[in-house]
């Protein structure tokens, strides 16, 4: 299903389902009250954002260590590889939903209900920002403790009254701290309104870095040499000009990426630029490479699986990317990353790694939020064109000189 159709399903099917389900869950909770023992099998629900699986990693590890619990995760099938990057969730503890169409989604949802009960899920944490589908998945997981965001007196999206631990979503702190607050809600000794009345420090949302062997790095380097036979130790500069269809307004214009690469190649004789992307983005990357028309600019799209990308990051000098998955995937390495923001704010979704956010800060930006289902009316994202090539070049040039 395309993004707009998914939003319509979430609204026109989700609202009545949430309304009816509120009464079903209310009755079930009273007829079959849960035990008061500590959480043992905790399910995290995050369907649509690959980067969020990385951002949520500190919170998931805190939940595992705090309660000595087994962790489970439900996610859309196409986004599942993002969970494999950190390995925090065991392969057998991940349930994937196909979102090809409403019929496969409904069938997988039924299988999910059985899977939850087989794994004796006692606690669910809905990481989605007011998604109705995720709320329903959390509510019908069989968990008696259900942590999720609640509107209280706000005007966000309606999704019923099925949460037992109502957390106040705070748009003024990083989303990683919001995720951590959900884990803290489970630790509260007495009920709070709202959860969680704690301070989440920067140290608590620090990501663990992943290390790779020389053999793994050499294997990735060989894929580079196959595309650039003259490689002799040039610094690898990664350019990710893409962003998901969920919010295409996040893309810096291709001509600006082209100009940036041309300036970098002219200024630095010791760099090799790799244009990265998924296999389906190969043609776009090829077109961009042809426009740059330089022997040290390579189309690298589709060369690696997502699980291999962090190895590439570990042998590269830096990356310039739109606000998308790669900016978060690189955070589990030491790669210096420059992330271009526009419709979204880095204060909320900035990478947790060695990154620099570049944000013009127009009066209309950010224009997407949980309240509008991350759908913007903007068709001319000047917040991206307001980021000049010279500004980005200056930052990247300085890093290359180090």
| Judgement on whether residues 223 and 199 belong to the same structural domain of the protein | no
| Judgement on whether residues 127 and 199 belong to the same structural domain of the protein | yes
Phi, psi of 165 (to 5 degrees): -120, 95
Rounded to whole angstroms, the Cα distance separating 294 from 272 reads: 10
pLDDT on residue 194: 94
| Judgement on whether residues 304 and 241 belong to the same structural domain of the protein | yes
- Which neighbouring-strand residues pair with 126? 45
Looking at 205, 230, 250, which one is the last position of a domain? Answer: 205
Phi, psi of 127 (to 5 degrees): -80, -10
| Judgement on whether residues 180 and 226 belong to the same structural domain of the protein | no
Looking at 205, 237, 258, which one is the last position of a domain? Answer: 205
Q: Tell me the whole-structure pTM to 2 decimals.
A: 0.93
Walk along the chain (402 residues) and give the pLDDT tens digit of each residue: 677 777 788 888 889 999 999 999 999 999 988 777 899 999 999 998 889 999 999 999 999 999 999 999 999 999 999 999 999 999 999 999 998 888 898 999 999 999 999 999 999 999 998 789 999 999 999 999 999 999 888 767 788 999 999 999 999 999 999 999 999 999 998 999 999 999 999 999 999 999 999 999 999 999 999 999 999 999 999 999 998 777 888 999 999 999 999 999 999 999 999 999 999 999 999 999 999 999 999 999 999 999 999 999 999 999 999 999 999 999 999 999 999 999 999 999 999 999 999 999 999 999 988 777 778 888 889 999 999 999 999 999 999 998
| Judgement on whether residues 127 and 181 belong to the same structural domain of the protein | yes
| Judgement on whether residues 220 and 201 belong to the same structural domain of the protein | no
Rounded to whole angstroms, the Cα distance separating 40 from 113 reads: 18
pLDDT on residue 5: 78
pLDDT on residue 371: 75
Looking at 205, 232, 255, which one is the last position of a domain? Answer: 205
| Judgement on whether residues 229 and 309 belong to the same structural domain of the protein | yes
- Cα atoms in the Cβ-side hemisphere of radius 13 Å centred on 268: 25
| Judgement on whether residues 198 and 231 belong to the same structural domain of the protein | no
Rounded to whole angstroms, the Cα distance separating 361 from 97 reads: 36
Report the SS3 class of residue 321: strand
Report the SS3 class of residue 197: coil
**Torsion angle, alpha carbons of 37, 38, 41, 45, to 10:** 110
Domain count, the chain: 2
- Which neighbouring-strand residues pair with 95? 74
| Judgement on whether residues 250 and 384 belong to the same structural domain of the protein | yes
The enclosing domain of 224 has a CATH number of 3.40.50.2000
- 62: tokens are 């805190």
Q: Which domain holds residue 235?
A: 214-401
Do residues 134 and 18 make contact, with C-beta atoms less than 8 angstroms apart?
no
| Judgement on whether residues 200 and 218 belong to the same structural domain of the protein | no
| Judgement on whether residues 181 and 275 belong to the same structural domain of the protein | no
Q: Packing angle between helix 132-139 and helix 14-31, nearest 10 degrees?
A: 20
| Judgement on whether residues 290 and 191 belong to the same structural domain of the protein | no
């Amino acid at each position: 299903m395309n993004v707009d159709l998914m939003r319509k399903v979430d609204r026109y099917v989700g609202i009545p389902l949430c309304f009816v389900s509120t009464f079903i869950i209310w009755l079930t909770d009273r007829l079959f009250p849960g035990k008061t023992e500590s959480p043992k099998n905790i399910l995290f629900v995050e369907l649509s954002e690959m980067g969020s699986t990385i951002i949520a990693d500190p919170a998931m590890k805190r939940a595992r260590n705090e309660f000595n619990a087994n962790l489970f995760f439900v996610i859309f099938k196409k986004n599942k590889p993002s969970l494999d990057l950190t390995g925090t969730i065991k392969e057998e503890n991940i349930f994937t939903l196909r979102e090809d169409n409403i019929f496969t989604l409904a069938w997988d949802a039924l299988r999910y209900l059985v899977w939850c009960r087989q794994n004796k899920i006692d606690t669910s944490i809905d990481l989605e920002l007011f998604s109705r589908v995720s709320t329903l998945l959390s509510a019908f997981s069989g968990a008696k403790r259900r942590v999720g965001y609640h509107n209280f007196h706000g005007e966000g999206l309606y999704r019923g009254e099925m949460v037992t631990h109502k957390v106040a979503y705070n748009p003024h702190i990083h989303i990683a701290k919001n995720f951590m607050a959900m884990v803290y809600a489970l630790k509260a000794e007495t009920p709070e309104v709202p959860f969680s009345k704690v301070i989440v420090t920067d140290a608590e949302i620090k990501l663990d870095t992943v290390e790779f062997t020389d053999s793994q790095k050499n294997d990735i380097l060989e894929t580079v040499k196959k595309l650039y036979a003259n490689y002799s130790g040039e610094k690898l500069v990664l350019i990710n000009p893409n962003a998901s269809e969920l919010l295409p307004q996040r893309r810096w214009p291709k001509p600006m990426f082209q100009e940036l690469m041309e300036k970098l190649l002219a200024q630095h004789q010791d760099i090799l630029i790799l244009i990265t992307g998924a296999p389906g983005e190969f043609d776009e990357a090829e077109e961009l490479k042809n426009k740059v028309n330089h022997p040290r600019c390579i189309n690298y799209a589709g060369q690696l699986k997502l699980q291999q990308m962090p190895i590439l990051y570990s042998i590269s000098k830096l990356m310039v990317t739109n606000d998308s998955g790669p900016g978060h995937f690189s955070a589990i390495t030491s790669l210096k990353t420059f992330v271009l923001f526009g419709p979204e704010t880095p204060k909320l979704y900035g990478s947790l790694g060695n990154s620099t956010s570049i944000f013009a800060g127009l009066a209309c930006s950010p224009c997407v939020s949980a309240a509008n289902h991350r759908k913007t009316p903007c068709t001319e994202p000047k917040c991206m064109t307001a980021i000049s090539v010279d500004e980005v070049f200056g930052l990247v040039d300085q890093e290359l000189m180090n």
